[in-house]
Structure 1
């Protein structure tokens, strides 16, 4: 489900992750709503996954909308908090 090189972000609430997903998909960005991986704690149990190729666009859109995630991770074998 999450490949090496993918980014995963978690939010404080299900409302925020759903709002972020809608915003990003509305901008044509290929994000995927996934269950938060077990090695990542998330209050809402959901996360967004996206590829390195759209990282800058995703993070800029979230910042502009004041929807910054609680935590960001990069999958490189294990999940690394960034």
Structure 2
């Protein structure tokens, strides 16, 4: 479900992740709401997956909407690397 190089955005609550999904899909950004990978701790159990190529657009829009994720990780092999 998560490919190498994909970004995973983790949020504090189900409300925030659902709102983020609505905002991003409203701008037709290619994101997917997914169950949070087991290797990552997510309070609400859901996360948003997007390609590294879309990172600037996705994270810029989330910031503009006041929906900054709690954490962002990038999948590399079997690991998820936290990015700032």
TM-score of the superposed pair, with normalisation by structure 1 = 0.99
1:55 aligns with 2:64: no
Instruction: Give 4+ residue runs of structure 1 displaced > 6 Å after superposition.
Output: none
Equivalent pairs, count:
82
Deviation at 1:35, TM superposition (A): 0.3
Task: Give the distance between the partners of 2:3 and 2:17, measured in 1 at CA.
Answer: 20
> Structure 2: which 5+ residue stretches go unaligned?
none
Corresponding residue for 1:27?
Answer: 27
Over aligned residues, Cα RMSD in angstroms? Answer: 0.4
Q: Which runs of 5+ in 1 are unaligned?
A: none
The 2-side partners of 1:9 and 1:52 are apart by 12
Rounded to whole Å, the distance in 2 between the matches of 1:67 and 1:48 is: 12
Q: TM-score, normalised by structure 2?
A: 0.96
